[in-house]
């Protein structure tokens, strides 16, 4: 068996036509694709379009007289290596999250034991609705993978998050999941018969970071005051993990040194824990010799308690408590000092005022090749959001990045890294 089998679920949104291109790309990468459409999807694109390009039967629902299989959702779900939904509407996401099985696609989801990947597309308000976000969180907890929508002009003529991710990116992420597996093992080299779709893409040059080992710090550090308390910050780890995921999808070997995060690390990347600044420093320095790119995306505490107490500090009727803090090691500066030929060093500068000026000073002081400058006072930028706004600064100039998903921004950062590599 040299081919992966993908169940492509198409739900009813304007982006349904893009599922045809996803099917073609998957087929070109050597996958067998079986298509299942919801009834609403057929209002946007004809089943015939898929049928004409696919030898398989296109399922619209269980009871379709043209469907030769009486228990189609069971057979369909048991004979795929990945269930990929493109596009996923708010409605299908809500059904999946709540175990509703009132049509073929939702029944297939319930009966499916293969990994599931969902690429949503919808109007921004529908995307941002607490109900939709709640359902997505539930599905993520249930182990479902998401290809986050990006921001841009939507079919309803508004601009915001909700646009289907680029089809190339969806296919890359789907293939990457198939190759790596949900347990994060495998690297695409062990595919039976040596016809790994990821390897094929790598050979074609689509995996443009295949020669890089990207080392990334992620999340916020925790600096112990005593065994119970610590000093920390609001970092969620979303930006750093987005860079990790994007680099992985572009073929890089990825190592993450993670502090405290509120989100899970993507599959297929090596994760080392470094909860305090000191632990993160040690983790980074151990991995640095083999890295070709370093990205300092963590919010590292600049100061830590000088003498953390060994036992819990008691109040003892004191009205004030003074903590003495000492500077933590600056990981980014040290990486830059130890840099070997060809290593690219990237830092982040989260500022509230004079953003570009401070970012450029940081770039010079820490010896960076690229700095990602954020104004964290802007809505949609900064901590714990799924979006960001930034300026990428290199010695060659500046690139302004408007509001976009962190995943999309991660690719822009990697594009800039590649430009530096080529220069």
Q: Name the residue among 92, 33, 240, 268 with its Cα closest to residue 173.
A: 268
Does residue 328 interact with ligand CTP by CB under 6 A? Answer: yes
Give the CB-side neighbour count of residue 124, counting CA atoms within 13 A: 15
Q: How does DSSP classify residue 299?
A: B
Element (H, E) at 304: strand 303-305
Question: Smallest distance, Å, CB 354 to ligand CTP?
Answer: 10
- Which one, 120 or 274, has the nearer CB to ligand CTP? 274
- Which one, 73 or 362, has the nearer CB to ligand CTP? 362
Does residue 390 interact with ligand CTP by CB under 6 A? Answer: no
Question: Smallest distance, Å, CB 284 to ligand CTP?
Answer: 8
Q: How does DSSP classify residue 260?
A: B
Burial label for 229, CB within 10 Å (0-12, 13-18, 19+), is middle
Are the C-beta atoms of 266 and 180 separated by less than 8 Å?
no
100, 156, 376, 420: which one is catalytic? 156
One character per residue 201-240, x = contact with ligand CTP (rule: CB under 6 A)? ----------------x-----------------------
- Which one, 149 or 259, has the nearer CB to ligand CTP? 259
Options 156, 330, 391, 412; binder of ligand CTP; rule CB under 6 A = 330
Instruction: Tell me the C-alpha distance between 280 and 147, whole Å.
Output: 29
One character per residue 273-292, x = contact with ligand CTP (rule: CB under 6 A)? ----x---------------
Question: Smallest distance, Å, CB 414 to ligand CTP?
Answer: 16
Number of residues that bind ligand CTP (CB under 6 A): 15
Active site residue 156: yes
Task: Write out the binding residues for ligand CTP, residues 154-193 only, by CB under 6 A.
Answer: none
Options 332, 381, 409, 414; binder of ligand CTP; rule CB under 6 A = 332
Q: Is the dihedral of CA 158, 161, 163, 169 positive or negative?
A: positive
CA distances for 97 relative to 145, 374, 419, angstroms: 13, 34, 41
CB burial readout 90-105, b (16+ within 10 A) else e: bbbbbbbbeeebebbb
Question: Smallest distance, Å, CB 257 to ligand CTP?
Answer: 10
- Which one, 131 or 361, has the nearer CB to ligand CTP? 361
Question: Smallest distance, Å, CB 385 to ligand CTP?
Answer: 18
Residue 244: how many other CB atoms lie within 10 Å: 29
DSSP 130-148: HHHHHHHHHHHHTT-EE--
Are the C-beta atoms of 264 and 237 separated by less than 8 Å?
no
Q: Name the residue among 260, 266, 276, 268 with its Cα closest to residue 218.
A: 260
Does residue 243 interact with ligand CTP by CB under 6 A? Answer: no
Are the C-beta atoms of 72 and 111 separated by less than 8 Å?
no
- Which one, 246 or 370, has the nearer CB to ligand CTP? 370
- Which one, 52 or 361, has the nearer CB to ligand CTP? 361
Task: Write out the binding residues for ligand CTP, residues 40-99 only, by CB under 6 A.
Answer: none
Q: Is the dihedral of CA 144, 13, 241, 134 positive or negative?
A: negative
Segment interacting with ligand CTP (CB under 6 A) among 173-181, 222-230, 328-336, 392-400: 328-336
Does residue 347 interact with ligand CTP by CB under 6 A? Answer: yes
Q: Name the residue among 164, 191, 184 with its Cα closest to residue 86.
A: 164
- Which one, 152 or 329, has the nearer CB to ligand CTP? 329
Instruction: Tell me the C-alpha distance between 118 and 89, whole Å.
Output: 10
Does residue 348 interact with ligand CTP by CB under 6 A? Answer: yes
Instruction: Tell me the C-alpha distance between 331 and 282, whole Å.
Output: 9
Options 57, 163, 248, 362; binder of ligand CTP; rule CB under 6 A = 362
Does residue 136 interact with ligand CTP by CB under 6 A? Answer: no
Does residue 354 interact with ligand CTP by CB under 6 A? Answer: no
Instruction: Tell me the C-alpha distance between 41 and 351, whole Å.
Output: 45
Does residue 336 interact with ligand CTP by CB under 6 A? Answer: no
Segment interacting with ligand CTP (CB under 6 A) among 226-234, 246-254, 297-305, 383-391: 297-305
- Which one, 350 or 392, has the nearer CB to ligand CTP? 350
Does residue 370 interact with ligand CTP by CB under 6 A? Answer: no
Residues designated as active site: 156
Binding site for ligand CTP (CB under 6 A): 217, 277, 296, 298, 300, 302, 328, 330-332, 347-350, 362
């Amino acid at each position: 068996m040299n081919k992966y089998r993908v169940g492509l679920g198409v739900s009813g949104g304007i982006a349904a036509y893009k599922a045809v291109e996803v099917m073609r790309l998957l087929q070109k990468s050597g996958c067998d694709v079986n298509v299942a459409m919801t009834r609403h999807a057929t209002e946007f694109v004809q089943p015939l379009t898929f049928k004409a390009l696919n030898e398989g039967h296109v399922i619209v629902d269980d009871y379709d007289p043209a469907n030769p299989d009486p228990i189609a959702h069971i057979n369909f779900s048991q004979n795929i290596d990945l269930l990929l939904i493109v596009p996923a509407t708010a409605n299908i996401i809500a059904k999946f999250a709540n175990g509703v099985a009132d049509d073929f696609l939702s029944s297939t989801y319930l009966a499916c034991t293969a990994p599931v990947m969902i690429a949503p597309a919808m109007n921004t308000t529908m995307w941002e609705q607490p109900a939709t976000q709640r359902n997505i969180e539930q599905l993520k907890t249930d182990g479902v993978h998401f290809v986050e929508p990006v921001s841009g002009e939507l079919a309803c003529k508004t601009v915001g998050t909700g646009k289907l991710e680029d089809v190339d990116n969806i296919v890359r992420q789907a293939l990457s999941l198939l190759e790596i597996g949900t347990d994060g093992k495998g690297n695409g080299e062990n595919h039976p018969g040596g016809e790994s779709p990821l390897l094929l893409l790598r050979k074609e040059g689509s995996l443009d970071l295949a020669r890089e080992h990207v080392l990334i710090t992620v999340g916020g550090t925790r600096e112990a005051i005593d065994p119970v308390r610590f000093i920390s910050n609001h970092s969620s780890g979303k930006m750093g993990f987005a860079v990790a995921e994007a680099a992985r999808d572009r073929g890089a070997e990825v190592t993450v040194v993670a502090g405290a995060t509120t989100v899970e690390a993507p599959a297929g990347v090596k994760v080392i824990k470094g909860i305090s600044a000191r632990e993160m420093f040690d983790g980074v320095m151990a991995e640095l010799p083999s890295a070709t790119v370093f990205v300092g995306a963590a919010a590292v505490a600049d100061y830590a308690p000088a003498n953390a107490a060994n036992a819990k500090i008691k109040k003892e009727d004191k009205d004030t408590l003074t903590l003495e803090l000492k500077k933590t090691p600056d990981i980014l500066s040290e990486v830059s000092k130890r840099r070997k030929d060809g290593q690219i060093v990237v830092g982040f500068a989260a500022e509230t005022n004079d953003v570009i000026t401070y970012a450029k000073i940081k770039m010079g002081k820490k010896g960076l090749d690229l700095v990602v400058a954020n104004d964290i006072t802007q809505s949609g930028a900064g901590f714990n959001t799924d979006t960001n706004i930034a300026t990428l600064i290199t010695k060659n100039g500046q690139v302004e990045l408007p509001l976009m998903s962190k995943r999309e921004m991660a690719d822009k950062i990697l594009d800039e890294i590649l430009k530096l590599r080529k220069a």
